[in-house]
């Protein structure tokens, strides 16, 4: 039995995101992702005006008259959320933690997928792969995905993006849309794994950021702790050299992240704890919609 407080929290997420899906996201989701491919349907006799290139020569030879292949738009998608549950997700200085924002964004996308009869799957990862739910359809499965996101209890605190992406690439054979949700605070190389996986799948990176990760206010001596390693350091946040060095480091991190994704053809959605995630999500949908129409 699921505890009543767990059910209530899931229900709150469902109500909040379902309203968003009904009013805003569903149509944008469909225009951005639907009709992404064609699949073979049947053959029929050739009629004047049919494309010569669509003739099925094997069937034509068998029956002695021309037949053409008929294709239909492939409607069903597989959406997989690959979500970072490492220690750095438990950080936020506004209203919610980075991890909480990520959960709600995934919930909105999950209900959009359910409404369009798509499959959804989930991989939770830290420095190891924590939990995998194979793609399935339906509201009940979406609620299971949300429950696992809300109440994940990772065994590890570190981050290994490359391992998570390589795992998905190995077990998911059919092309999927993969939302990689993370703050990308991973010092190991993961772009190589992303490049390989992006040749088969459609990977979208969702970056989670809190404003205090970009700028630390000058409030004097502060003990800073790395949430993934537990390492602590005492810094003087009022020191001008510290302020300048810290800002340059964060700016470089953001620039390198954006350049890396562009280089391997991975789209990016930037989500912050001090802004509504709907605006960058809609901007991404509009960008995808225009690309598909081009």
With vertex at residue 218, the alpha carbon angle to CA 216 and CA 223, rounded to the nearest 5 degrees, is 70
Q: pLDDT tens-digit profile of 261-278?
A: 999 999 999 999 998 888
Q: 4-33+75-289: which CATH topology?
A: Rossmann fold (3.40.50)
| pLDDT tens digits, one per residue of 252-263 | 999 999 999 999
Residue 126 has pLDDT above 60, yes or no: yes
Number of H helices, E strands in the chain: 9, 10
Tokens of residue 157, six digits: 């605190």
Lowest mean pLDDT among 16-25, 55-64, 132-141: 16-25
- pLDDT of 224 strictly over 70: yes
What is the per-residue pLDDT for 120?
96
* pLDDT at 73 (0 to 100): 56
Would you kindly state where each structural domain of the chain is located, as residue ranges?
Answer: 4-33+75-289, 37-74
Q: What is the structure's pLDDT at 286?
A: 85
Structure tokens at 53: 């290139």
Q: The tokens of 217 are what? A: 């206010």
Quick one: tokens of 90?
A: 């438990």
How confident is the model at residue 123, as a pLDDT? 98
The predicted pLDDT at position 25 comes to: 78
Contact of 29 with 112, CB cutoff 8 Å: yes
């Amino acid at each position: 039995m699921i505890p009543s407080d767990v059910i209530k929290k899931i229900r709150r997420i469902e109500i909040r995101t379902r309203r968003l899906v009904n009013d805003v996201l569903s149509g944008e989701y469909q225009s951005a992702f639907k009709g992404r491919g064609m699949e073979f349907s049947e053959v029929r006799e050739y009629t004047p005006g049919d494309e010569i290139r669509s003739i099925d020569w094997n069937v034509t030879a068998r029956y002695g008259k021309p037949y053409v292949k008929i294709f239909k738009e492939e409607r069903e998608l597989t959406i997989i959320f690959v979500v970072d549950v490492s220690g750095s997700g438990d950080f936020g200085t506004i209203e919610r933690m980075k991890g909480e924002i990520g959960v709600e964004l995934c919930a909105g996308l999950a209900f959009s997928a359910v409404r369009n009869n798509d499959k959804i799957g989930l991989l939770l990862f830290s420095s190891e792969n924590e939990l995998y739910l194979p793609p399935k359809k339906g509201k009940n499965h979406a609620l299971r995905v949300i429950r696992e996101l809300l109440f994940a209890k990772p065994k590890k605190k570190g981050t290994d993006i490359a391992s998570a992406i390589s795992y998905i690439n190995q077990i998911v054979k059919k092309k999927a849309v993969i939302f990689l949700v993370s703050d990308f605070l991973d010092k190991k190389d993961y772009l190589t794994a992303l490049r390989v996986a992006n040749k088969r799948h459609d990977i979208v990176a969702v970056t989670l950021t809190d404003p205090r990760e970009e700028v630390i206010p000058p409030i004097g001596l502060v003990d800073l702790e790395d949430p993934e390693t537990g390492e602590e350091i005492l810094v003087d946040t009022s020191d001008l050299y510290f302020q300048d060095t810290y800002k340059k480091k964060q700016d470089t991190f953001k620039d390198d992240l954006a350049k890396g994704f562009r280089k391997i053809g991975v789209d990016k959605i930037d989500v912050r704890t001090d802004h509504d995630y709907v605006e960058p999500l809609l901007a991404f949908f509009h960008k995808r919609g225009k690309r598909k129409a081009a």
